[in-house]
Structure 1
Amino acid sequence: MLSVGLTGGIGAGKSEVSRLLVRHGAVLIDSDRIAREVVEPGTPGLAAVLDAFGAGVLTAEGSLDRPALGRIVFGNPEKLAQLNAIVHPLVRERSAALQQAAPADAVVVNDVPLLVENGLGPLYDLVLVVDARPETQLRRLVATRGMTESDARARMAAQATREQRLAAADLVIDNDGPLDTLAARVAEVWADLERRAKGLERRATG
Structure 2
Amino acid sequence: MRVGLTGGIASGKSTVGRLMAEAGCTVTDADRLVAELYRPGGEGAAAVARLFGDEMLRQDGSVASERLARVVFADPLARRRLEAEIHPLVGKRFAELAAAATGPLIVFEATLLVDTGGYRNFDALVTVEADPELRVRRAVARGLDEEEARARLAAQTSCEARTAAADFVILNEGTLDQLRERVLEVVAQLERRAAEGVGDRGQGSGVRG
Matched letter for residue 86 of structure 1: E
Give the % identical residues. 46
Q: Does the CA contact (< 8 Å) of 1:56 and 1:68 recur in 2?
A: no
- Cα distance in structure 2, aligned partners of 1:153 and 1:86: 25
Matched letter for residue 13 of structure 1: G
Structure 2 counterpart of 1:128: 126
- Cα distance in structure 2, aligned partners of 1:68 and 1:175: 29
What is the aligned length? 198
- Cα distance in structure 2, aligned partners of 1:160 and 1:154: 12
Q: 1:48 to 1:134 in 2, by over 3 A?
A: closer
Structure 1 counterpart of 2:36: 37
- Cα distance in structure 1, aligned partners of 2:98 and 2:70: 33
Residue 183 of structure 1 pairs with residue 180 of structure 2: yes
Measure how far apart 1:112 and its partner are: 1.1
Structure 1 counterpart of 2:142: 145
Q: Does the CA contact (< 8 Å) of 2:119 and 2:125 recur in 1?
A: yes
Measure how far apart 1:194 and its partner are: 1.3
Secondary structure of the residue that 1:52 maps to in structure 2? helix
Matched letter for residue 122 of structure 1: R
Matched letter for residue 130 of structure 1: V
Based on CA coordinates, which of the two structures has the bigger radius of gyration? 1
**Which blocks of at least 5 consecutive residues in structure 1 are unaligned?**
202-206
Measure how far apart 1:179 and its partner are: 1.1
- Cα distance in structure 1, aligned partners of 2:11 and 2:70: 26
Q: 1:188 to 1:150 in 2, by over 3 A?
A: same
Structure 1 counterpart of 2:54: 55
Of the three residues 181, 197, 200, the one matched with 2:197 is 200
Q: Does the CA contact (< 8 Å) of 2:45 and 2:61 recur in 1?
A: no
Q: 1:25 to 1:31 in 2, by over 3 A?
A: same
Matched letter for residue 155 of structure 1: R
Structure 1 counterpart of 2:160: 163
Q: 1:174 to 1:77 in 2, by over 3 A?
A: closer
Measure how far apart 1:71 and its partner are: 4.7
- Cα distance in structure 2, aligned partners of 1:132 and 1:48: 34
**Which blocks of at least 5 consecutive residues in structure 2 are unaligned?**
199-209
Structure with the larger RCO, 1 or 2 (CA within 8 Å, 6+ apart): 1
Secondary structure of the residue that 1:130 maps to in structure 2? strand
Measure how far apart 1:200 and its partner are: 2.0
What TM-score do the two structures reach when normalised by structure 1?
A: 0.87
Measure how far apart 1:72 and its partner are: 4.3
* CA deviation vs aligned residue, 1:149-204 (integer Å, no higher than 9, x gap): 33332222111112111111101112111111111111111111111122229xxx
Matched letter for residue 159 of structure 1: Q
Q: What is the root-mean-square deviation in Å for CA atoms of aligned residues? A: 1.9
- Cα distance in structure 2, aligned partners of 1:25 and 1:180: 17
